[in-house]
Amino acid sequence: MHRKFLLSVILMLLMSASYAFGQCTNEPGKTLVFVPIGDIAVNTNWTSNNVYVLQGPTYVISGVTLTIQPGTIIKGITGLAPGAVASLIVERGATIIANGTAQDPIIWTACTDDVSDPNDLGRSDRGLWGSLIVLGKAPINGTVTAPEICPTNFIEGLPPSAKTTYGGCDPTDNSGIIRYNQFKHGGSIIGAANEINGLTLGGVGSGTTVEYVEVFANLDDGFEFFGGNVNAKYLISAFNDDDDFDWDQGYHGKLQFLFAIKDSTNGDRLFESDGDDANADTDPTARPVVYNVTSIGRGQLPTAPSNANAAFHFKENSGGHIRNSIIIDWPRNGAFMEDQSSPSFSLNYPDCSILTQKDCEYRSRCFTGSYNTNFTPAAPAYANPTYAGSAGTGSDLTIYGTIWWNIGRNAKTLPNELSSNQSFTEKRLFTDYPTLAATLTGQSWNNIIDNPLFFGMDLSRARFAGQNALDPRPALNSPAFTEPRTDAPAEDAFFSPAPYAGAFDATTNWACEWTALWEANYFNCAPRTTTCFDETGKTIVNVAIGNITANTNWTNDNVYILQGPTFVTDSARLTIEQGTIVKGVTGLPPGSVSSLVITRNAQIFALGDSCCPIIFTAQTDDVNDPNDLGRSDRGLWGSLIVLGNAPINGTVTAPEICATNFIEGLTASPLTQYGGCNAFDNSGVIQWVQLKHGGSVIGAANEINGLTMGGVGNGTAIDHIEVFANLDDGFEWFGGTVNCRYLVSAFNDDDAFDWDQGYTGNLQFLFAIYDSTNGDRAFEIDGDDANADTQPYARPTVYNVTAFGRGEVLAAAPSNQNAAIHAKENTGGHIRNSIFYEWPRNGVFIEDQSGPSFSLAPLPDCTILGGQIDAEYHSRCLTGAFTNPNWVGGYSNVNPAYAVADFDIFGTIWCAVNSAAITPALVASAQTWTEQRLFTDYPLAGGAIASVPGGRWDNVIDEPLFTGNDRARSRFAGQNALDPRPSAASPAFSIGLKDAPAENSWFASAPYAGAFNSNDNWLLCWTALWQANYLNTAPPAGSCLCGDANNSGGYSISDAVYIIAHIFGGGPAPALPCLGDANGSGGISISDAVYLIAHIFGGGPAPFCPPASCS
């Protein structure tokens, strides 16, 4: 009897296995492994040589880790009953490590899917199995049920039990890693109108890693977040039948780089966001922060769409902050707002800070923030003010910096609008009143209605024909790069820098090589190649003297020759592609110097790249040869001048209502006027640009600066700009409010950085270097040359400067022009966390225009440092008597985070200052020598700056211990000797630093003095300093150069051979994975060798990336 029973059990198991085997497609060279229904109760590894078949609900129980090897395939049996759907559930307290790679993603799919054939199942094959459900212990909203002490719930569609419970008290709960995973053809029905999401995350905490995950052809949502605060990046929702992303029950994590696409026959919303279905007033309320979404909706439908076809559907007590995104081709409104407690929708509410259809009560509460107890005390205050508000109101729902296009294409009440896409979109995006359009697209929201100009996009939906027609990367002239954006707060390390709207930049489609979209040929993944640092074979285009009056593109297959002053006027936009070369004719008379002038109301979008900059130089410069012109070749042409409408100080001249002026050196006319009333003025974007050998003489003792900014507003983006060998200043700000980062002034003949006429912007990461024969100051700073008492006064805030002076080799005693900082009448400023090195005169020289005689008599201790001090200016600067009301008070300001005085220098290292000391006896002691000359002739002042009561100044006199520097100036011999990164032992990391105020989100976190940390030399790959071999390019320990497969310190054809030998010939692997990753995909494959060869022989993009940690 016992034997018969065993035989019957074995027969049943064999029949079950035979049934499962019969309907489950195996993959070549792999073994089918059937996973029993029930629990995985011990730590388990799933390996890539098997295909694992889920036969029903399988639970990874608490305390157990399931590890899945890259390249593993998991399949679910189809056709099971709702209560027995094939799924994997990771319980609270369990861990899943599904850590795939770009070359070997982990694939979850249906048993009927032949993974080796990407076209056997398509985008309409949905609901064939369940999917993955991960449950955690992070907070959710809802009811507390004993013995729990925080709210919990049971995941929908599964029987309520301890195994299906999620939620808890631990926001940092760690459920494991889900990276490079595909989830295909899932979403089986588990109840009436209830299907499984592609990836369900219930109460998952921020200790969990979720990135590079695709959900393809799911019958329900792509991703759903039931509370919790897990953060996620690089998510794809493709052709799913319900919503792309759904959050509720108090989800408040962070999301970045999301791509979603619908076909025309199925699918609801991009975001369905809810507070809590059961009780909309429970806490925490859902407030995620989302950056960089690209969403392509269902397009134009044959019938009027429902509210389910809006891009955003906000339900009761949900909000969120959505930034820098692209939303196109949605048949209904851009956003639809619903209040569960009041289902009738009023369309007669006044203008508000939330867009589109809205219920009066929900609108009111969302606007005021009065129902969100997590962000109290009183609305509109937030716990994190960097995410708060719109125009100061503090609403719980904001959408900033987003491009909308083809919204409401089936507007049932507006057929007459079809002829005008802009008007049509505007009507349906912002409900039926155009006043809302002005609200959302105003200066505080920065949303626009414009074509995003994808590289590949066909609104006839041919992109779904497997023709490689879909390329969601924005073209270089796309508004994704040119329109104002809202940067993520610098102190939030989760968000990656992304100076564009949408999920993709112009060069890299991160969804290629590992997704089902890529396998099925939906994507065009061809690299966007550009010839960089090379003018061979390019067409010469002579730019006529005069005006550019219409939108114009300059492309990188041409070399543009400026033959005289060229003005961009009449609100025109000049867009310049990465790798483009612009040259100026040399030898022209002062009034006709070749220059490019961006006038007020016009814009420039000079969009270089980190290894493919735009180069402005002289006509005589052979760009292919980085050494034909050197650091002494200055003044050969003019340069770039940008004029804006931001405030300056000076005189108001009718019909203007704010002060204006005419830029120096050019004929006074409306074309050369700058200044105005708009601090937020936007003159465009200038990024990754070289400006070389400029500064032509335009008058007696008057030359053009490398980059001149006259009244430029802070709506303008300026970063990664190098001025090399200019005859005048590197950079000069004539008033304005523009903020700038990553500026390089190299071997210029006057000052590195010069501000005046009331400049009040922010600056960070500045590098300046001089040779021994030319150059004046690091900073020349002035209030106003003409009238030193006009307002606004110049009060910029500057962080992280590294400035190398002319050294100690001057033949004669230096003039005051060789001080590191020369402060003139009625200027101030705040200079923090910097390094000043080898300056032959004082550290700081202070001049009062109204009192040219300088007192060296001892003055009382003061909050202004060093140098020669004029008594009157010193007194006024100390007391703050002449300050702008925005900076009132001697020791207190409107913004106390910047307070102390109108001029202060904190957390800065000084070394070898006044190294051409008039008193040679001091040479024997570098410290004494520096101290004497840095802080004037009285030690009293030295003590003041180095140790103010309370330690507020924290300046030190010490050797900064750069990684590479030679006092003998051989760093200028092209010997790769210059490396301004501080070594690990440098005081740059140990002195007292002054943090940027937390409420000023513009400043990036930089816990060190100077412009560089110890690992990242941001000068590499794009500057003339790098091209001409001034810089040490060797990566630091623990870092690598992408593409340097053989770890030689550079890249060449031998690196491609090394990769091929490793892949096909059993050769050694690169010492670190990133060394072989030429295309930046995250792994090593034959495509990396192809990428290298294309660069070396075909002019493809350089496979160089800035050194970064390879750990």
Res. 1055 pLDDT band, cuts 50 70 90 = confident
Please tell me the distance from the alpha carbon of residue 851 to that of residue 854, in angstroms, as a whole number.
8
Cα→Cα distances 542→356, 536, 558, 561, 838, Å: 49, 17, 10, 5, 43
Q: What is the pLDDT of residue 276?
A: 67
Query: Do 115 and 27 form a contact (C-beta atoms < 8 A)?
Result: yes
Mean pLDDT within 560-574 = 94
Mean pLDDT within 566-579 = 91
Inform me whether the pLDDT recorded for 621 exceeds 70: yes
Inform me whether the pLDDT recorded for 1087 exceeds 90: no
Q: What is the pLDDT of residue 445?
A: 62
Three-state DSSP string of 1008-1024: CCCCCCCCCCCCCCCCH
**Residue 251 vs residue 945, higher pLDDT:** 251
pLDDT in tens, 690-700: 999 999 987 66
Token digits of residue 412 = 């049932």
Inform me whether the pLDDT recorded for 790 exceeds 80: no
Q: What is the pLDDT of residue 1066?
A: 72
Task: Using the structure block, give the residue that is written with the tokens 């494991």.
Answer: 176
Inform me whether the pLDDT recorded for 307 exceeds 70: no
Res. 178 pLDDT band, cuts 50 70 90 = very high
Q: How many CB atoms lie within 10 A of CB 651?
A: 12
Mean pLDDT of the chain: 76
Beta strand ranges found along 735-789 (DSSP E):
739-746, 753-756, 762-769, 779-781
Give exposure, 890-927, as e/b (b: 16+ Cβ within 10 Å).
beebeeeebbbbbbbbbbbbbbbbbbbbeeeebeeebe
Would you give the DSSP letter of residue 794? B
Cα→Cα distances 807→747, 839, 867, 1012, Å: 13, 6, 18, 21
Q: What is the pLDDT of residue 875?
A: 36
Token digits of residue 1021 = 């790959």
Query: Do 678 and 443 form a contact (C-beta atoms < 8 A)?
Result: no
Mean pLDDT within 192-212 = 91
H or E element, residue 1063: helix 1053-1064
3-state secondary structure at position 803: strand
Q: What is the pLDDT of residue 363?
A: 36
Mean pLDDT within 431-450 = 48
Res. 727 pLDDT band, cuts 50 70 90 = very high
Task: Say how many residues make up the chain.
Answer: 1111
Domains of the chain, with CATH numbers? 1-242 (no CATH), 251-263+281-306+315-333+343-526 (no CATH), 537-750 (no CATH), 775-1028 (no CATH), 1034-1109 (1.10.1330.10)
Taking Cα atoms as reference points, which of 462, 465, 474 lies closest to residue 324? 474
**Residue 231 vs residue 425, higher pLDDT:** 231
Inform me whether the pLDDT recorded for 894 exceeds 60: no
Please tell me the distance from the alpha carbon of residue 610 to that of residue 690, in angstroms, as a whole number.
11
Mean pLDDT within 842-871 = 40
Mean pLDDT within 62-91 = 95
Query: Do 154 and 249 form a contact (C-beta atoms < 8 A)?
Result: no
State percent of the chain over pLDDT 90.
40
